[in-house]
Amino acid sequence: CTFSGNTASLQGGAVSNSNGTFTATSCTFSGNYSALGGAVDNTDSGTVSLTDCSFTTESDTIYNAGTLILSGVNTFSGVVTNEGTVVFDLSNMAPANEIAIINDISKFSGSGSYSIRISEDQTKGTYLLAGNAADFNTTVSLHIGSSETEIEITPGDVVFSDGTLYSLKKTKDETQNLS
């Protein structure tokens, strides 16, 4: 699917989601504009799920005050303002993927929280989360399966939980990894 050349005067040039659910898979957002969320505006208790999507221009911004779930490989050219929760969903990914789940974490701003979701039987290994992560020092919550278990982890930390060692680290090329 393609969302191209859409505009709104206030919010959500292509998509405005308030208290609902919006899912996009393998979509391209190009040349969308709005004062808040040129491509996507997600507010209140809304949930937006993006899998393998591309936001091709700087005007294709996202404003998130709900939950933004990212899986697959997503590329961002515009700013993502996070005032809610961003979830990196690794539950269907394999380790050592050559491409990060998002291309550029430096595009993300705001005071929102970040979490990583993995399955209980997740294959052990290194997962690439985000490129351009040199300045990303935010604590991330790790959620395992459907359990209520939540592990707080900061880049550079190593955490041992239920017999498994988790670390959130930056590599020499400044990619954010979970292993």
Q: What is the pLDDT of residues 94-147, one digit of tens each?
A: 776 667 788 888 899 999 999 988 888 888 887 878 888 878 888 888 888 877
- Of the candidates 21, 84, 12, 8, the one whose C-alpha atom is nearest the C-alpha of residue 50 is 21
Where does residue 173 rank: exposed (0-12), middle (13-18), buried (19+ CB within 10 A)? exposed
For residues 178 and 63, give the distance between their C-alpha atoms in angstroms, rounded to a whole number.
25
pTM of the model: 0.90
Q: Number of helices and strands (H, E) in the chain? A: 0, 22
Range scoring the smallest mean pLDDT among 20-34, 71-85, 87-101: 87-101
For residues 64 and 133, give the distance between their C-alpha atoms in angstroms, rounded to a whole number.
20
Cα-Cα end-to-end distance for the chain: 33
Q: What is the CA radius of gyration of the chain?
A: 16
Q: What is the pLDDT of residues 41-63, one digit of tens each?
A: 999 999 999 999 999 999 999 99
Q: What is the pLDDT of residues 66-77, one digit of tens each?
A: 999 999 989 999
CA atoms lying within 13 Å on the CB side of residue 76: 27
